[in-house]
Amino acid sequence: MNFELSGDQLTFQTLAKAFSDNELKPNAAKWDAECTFPLETIKKAGELGFCSLYVSEDNGGMGLSKVDATIIIEELAAGCTSTTAFMTIHNMATWMVSEFGSTKLKEEWLQDLNSGSKLSSYCLTEPGSGSDAASLKTSAVKKDNCYVLNGNKAFISGSGSTDCLILMARTGDGGPGGISCFLVPADADGIEYGKNESKMGWRNQPTRIVSLKDVKIPLDNLMGQEGQGFKIAMKGLDGGRINIATCSVGTAQAALEEAQKYMNEREQFGKKIGEFQALQFKLADMTTNLVAARQMVRLAASKLENNDPDSTTYCAMAKRFATDVGFDVCNEALQIFGGYGYIQDYPLERYVRDVRVHQILEGTNEIMKMIVGRRMLLEGAARIIQ
């Protein structure tokens, strides 16, 4: 197994780092403080292909592998966690349109979604169905030449500022088999958006409840077939777990570099704090765990790319481990800064706030443990750890 990056991957990394350093990092603190959703910056990212990472070249996208995408996402997250996290959600939703949308939907939406000139939100979670996504209640009833949607979605990233919603709704009986997937124009009659939630982190991307009352959409806005929605959602979530894990790794890398630099500058008791063995050990543990998390994420991305039968298990392991490590590294970096880490003149407190939610979304880390634990109880499953 070759762990070295290829020439193309190094080019992607360099391009993403330049964009991150020039467009994201200098503005991240201001966007966070002012709760500014940087639409124009995201559009610039789209011009570089960063809004269509998984869309095939035939459909106008970059057509990158899952591993290639992690290299780009990690660099972007080091500049602004929140903006990058939204871009990964948009990438997932845009990929769904490219893979499951009708010819009409692709012609109408895909070019603008690929370029970032139009943005998408992903609508699965509801007020009463978080981890238990298969129990969602939003309905889609076929009537005349359209579907009529009613229900509520919660914690929807970008909602109220995006152009379309990739939305899961119930067209059949209870359980996962009764769920279908739709593209819903964000300005359709009957859609109302709640207040922008005041959040601990991810403050520069809006998060709202989406309410649908007798919202009518054309039959062509069904993605895939009726009853395939939950399968589509789960295919997206495996990739989403890799994405959010990568955002944690990228942010933790930025925190680690800040801590290393600070340890070489800060003096206490007549010497640089980097000379204290206790802090050297702390930095060593942070570095080791971060490298392990990065490799686990890339392994899971490779498994997913190659349709490995245990890819879902690997994605769950990577998401759980990398988001826990990401938070721990950021938190330890803040500790190294002492009181300075707690004030907003330095980025450490923002890193901690932004990565904390990664342990919750795309399936909580407790759910990730359930996925892995149940898989391991099956006969012969122990081979996945070899």
Q: Which residues of 263-278 are buried (b: 16+ CB within 10 A; e: fewer)?
A: beeeeeeeeebbeeee
pTM of the model: 0.95
pLDDT of residue 298: 97
Judge if 361 and 239 occupy the same domain.
Answer: yes
What's the average model confidence in pLDDT over 313-327?
97
Confidence tier at 307 by pLDDT (50, 70, 90): very high
pLDDT of residue 130: 77
Does 36 fall in a domain? yes
Q: Where residue 174 sits, what CATH number does that domain have?
A: 2.40.110.10
Q: Can you state the percent helix, strand and coil of the chain, rounding each to 5?
A: 55, 15, 30
Of 188, 211, 226, the last residue of a domain is: 226
Judge if 221 and 244 occupy the same domain.
Answer: no
Does 1 fall in a domain? no
Judge if 34 and 155 occupy the same domain.
Answer: no
The CA distance from 7 to 144, in Å, is 54
What's the average model confidence in pLDDT over 259-267?
95
Backbone Cα Rg of the chain: 21
pLDDT of residue 134: 84
Does 266 fall in a domain? yes
Confidence tier at 239 by pLDDT (50, 70, 90): very high
Judge if 169 and 209 occupy the same domain.
Answer: yes
Q: Where residue 295 sits, what CATH number does that domain have?
A: 1.20.140.10
Using DSSP, state whether 333 is helix, strand or coil. helix
DSSP assignment of 179-236, as one string? Answer: EEEEEEETT-TTEEE-PPP--SS-TTS-EEEEEEEEEEEEGGGEESSTT-HHHHHHHH
Q: Compute CA 192 distance to the chain's CA centroid, rounded to the nearest angstrom.
A: 24
Judge if 272 and 331 occupy the same domain.
Answer: yes
With tokens 């990056």, the residue in question is: 5
Of 179, 211, 226, the last residue of a domain is: 226
Of 201, 226, 251, the last residue of a domain is: 226
The residue annotated as part of the active site, out of 75, 126, 332, 362, is: 362
pLDDT tens for each residue of 14-49: 999 999 999 999 999 999 999 999 999 999 999 999
Q: In the predicted model, is pLDDT for residue 146 greater than 80? A: yes
pLDDT of residue 274: 94
Does 281 fall in a domain? yes
pLDDT of residue 382: 63
pLDDT of residue 287: 98
What's the average model confidence in pLDDT over 51-77?
96
CB 310 within 8 A of CB 318: no
**What residue numbers bound the domain in which 181 lies?**
121-226
Confidence tier at 129 by pLDDT (50, 70, 90): confident
Q: Which residues of 129-139 are buried (b: 16+ CB within 10 A; e: fewer)?
A: bbeebbebebe
The pair of three-digit structure tokens given for residue 155, joined into one six-digit string: 């914690």
Judge if 208 and 280 occupy the same domain.
Answer: no
Over the chain, what is the mean pLDDT? 95
pLDDT tens for each residue of 209-235: 999 999 999 999 999 999 999 999 988
Confidence tier at 13 by pLDDT (50, 70, 90): very high
Domain count, the chain: 3
Does 2 fall in a domain? no
Percent of the chain at pLDDT exceeding 70? 98
The pair of three-digit structure tokens given for residue 14, joined into one six-digit string: 């360099």
Judge if 22 and 58 occupy the same domain.
Answer: yes
Judge if 128 and 237 occupy the same domain.
Answer: no
Q: Within 10 A of 283 (CB to CB), how many other CB atoms are there?
A: 18
pLDDT of residue 379: 65
Q: What sign has the CA pseudo-torsion 9, 13, 14, 16? A: positive
CB 358 within 8 A of CB 328: no
Q: Is 379 a catalytic residue?
A: no
Does 329 fall in a domain? yes
Judge if 256 and 322 occupy the same domain.
Answer: yes
